[in-house]
Amino acid sequence: MTDALIPLADIQAAQRRIQGRVRRTPMMAATALKAKLPVDCQVVLKLESLQATGSFKARGASNKLGTLSADQIKKGIVTASGGNHGIAVAYAGWMAKVPATVFVPEGVSLLKADKIKGYGAKLVVGGKHFGEANTAALELAEREGLAYFHPYEDPAVMAGQGTLALEILADDPAIDTLLVAIGGGGLISGMASAAKALKPSIRIVGVEPVGAATIHDSLKAGQVVTLPGITTKVLTLAAQRTGQRNFDIARETVEQVVLITDDDMLDAARMLWLDLGIAADLSGAASMAALLTGKYRPRPGERVCVLVCGAGPDGIA
């Protein structure tokens, strides 16, 4: 393993740091389903949709907050997000009793926007997509001296997300494969770093929208690429460019990245609700969509962990 990976010690420190600020979410076997899953495999769900704020993002934001001094955060904190990370940073600001500002792209879910404001954060529409919102957030951070929380390139955020893999392998050491949705790459970077350190044989499979194939296209090109455009409507998975360290970790640890459509995610979200009573947003249903569509085909006997990474009503309506 190279220096690109987040050190296991940092992820274990993150786990201690965020204890009491986040929940240890349950795992559940996907059995007694109407929907047809691949035969000859075992599917286990990690229900991170039950996490504080409704997604895994609470882990990374809480760890980032815990690494900062009181002086570093007293002026306030700022980020840009397609939704879930913004909610988590708003939550971090609420916990620390400091002002938080969250820049979002146009078209952000009204439900997610309301959750951001519900934690007392200032919500600012910063552009048509994440890149424009992020530029605006960085400019404010520089201008006013605010602590900036990057959603996927910050090592402290990645370490926080990596605590998910610690929990999964502690609860079910027999897991053979992790199916992980990819937005900018922070989640899969942290989880892959932790999982490969604990169980080198484990397989890491990424899942991206066809309309935002950021890491898929970068791996294919052998270098970080900027997508010419974003067509997915799932803003939580709509990064136009990943970070260099995220790419380096993915190149070393991710066995493959499969591509799914927005409709695939909607179908999977409906299945999760109708068959299992799980309210997932579209990004939270991405890993299940990879299985349901056959975009990822498990080997006979493979034990697959499907990460339901975010909550939402998308499959209910």
3-state secondary structure string across 75-133: CCEEEECCCHHHHHHHHHHHHHCCCEEEEECCCCCHHHHHHHHHCCCEEEECCCCHHHH
Indicate the class that CATH gives domain 57-148: alpha beta
Judge whether residue 233 has pLDDT over 70: yes
pLDDT tens digit sequence for 261-291: 999 999 999 999 999 999 999 999 999 999 9
Q: What is the pLDDT of residue 317?
A: 72
Separation CA 89–CA 69 (nearest Å):
16
CA dist 207 → 85, 137, 211, 288 (Å): 18, 27, 12, 10
Beta carbons of 189 and 250 less than 8 angstroms apart: yes
Q: What is the pLDDT of residue 131?
A: 85
Judge whether residue 197 has pLDDT over 60: yes
Q: What is the pLDDT of residue 128?
A: 85
Task: Band the pLDDT of 203: cuts 50, 70, 90.
Answer: very high
Judge whether residue 208 has pLDDT over 60: yes
Asked whether the CA dihedral 288, 54, 242, 16 is positive or negative, the reply is negative
H or E element in which residue 217 lies: helix 214-221
Q: What is the pLDDT of residue 7?
A: 98
Among residues 136, 140, 252, which one has the least CA distance to residue 185? 252
Beta carbons of 296 and 179 less than 8 angstroms apart: yes
pLDDT tens digit sequence for 135-147: 999 999 999 999 9
Asked whether the CA dihedral 236, 169, 302, 274 is positive or negative, the reply is negative
Separation CA 212–CA 244 (nearest Å):
17
Q: What is the pLDDT of residue 82?
A: 85
Task: Band the pLDDT of 37: cuts 50, 70, 90.
Answer: confident
Beta carbons of 68 and 154 less than 8 angstroms apart: no
Judge whether residue 229 has pLDDT over 70: yes
Which of 29-33, 119-123, 277-281 has the least mean pLDDT?
A: 29-33
Give the mean model confidence (pLDDT) for residues 127-152: 93
Q: What is the pLDDT of residue 1?
A: 53
CATH number of 8-56+154-308: 3.40.50.1100
If one compares 1 and 224, the residue with the highest pLDDT of the two is: 224
Beta carbons of 65 and 156 less than 8 angstroms apart: no
Q: What is the pLDDT of residue 59?
A: 98
H or E element in which residue 247 lies: helix 244-253
CA dihedral 114, 62, 59, 47 (to 10 degrees): -50
Q: What is the pLDDT of residue 6?
A: 98
223: Cβ contacts below 8 Å, ≥ 6 apart: 247
Mean pLDDT for the chain?
A: 95
CA dist 81 → 124, 274, 302 (Å): 10, 29, 35
pLDDT tens digit sequence for 40-97: 899 999 999 999 999 999 999 999 999 999 999 989 999 999 889 999 999 999 998 9
Separation CA 46–CA 62 (nearest Å):
20
3-state helix, strand, coil in the chain (%, to 5): 45, 20, 35
Separation CA 228–CA 76 (nearest Å):
34
Q: What is the pTM of this model?
A: 0.95
3-state secondary structure string across 175-231: CCEEEEECCCCHHHHHHHHHHHHHCCCCEEEEEEEHHHCHHHHHHHHCCCCCCCCCC
Q: What is the largest CA-CA distance in the chain?
A: 56
Q: What is the pLDDT of residue 2?
A: 67
**DSSP 8-state class, residue 204:** E
Paired tokens of 50: 């039950």
Domain-wise residue ranges, the chain: 8-56+154-308, 57-148
Which of 1-15, 154-168, 179-193, 294-308 has the least mean pLDDT?
A: 1-15
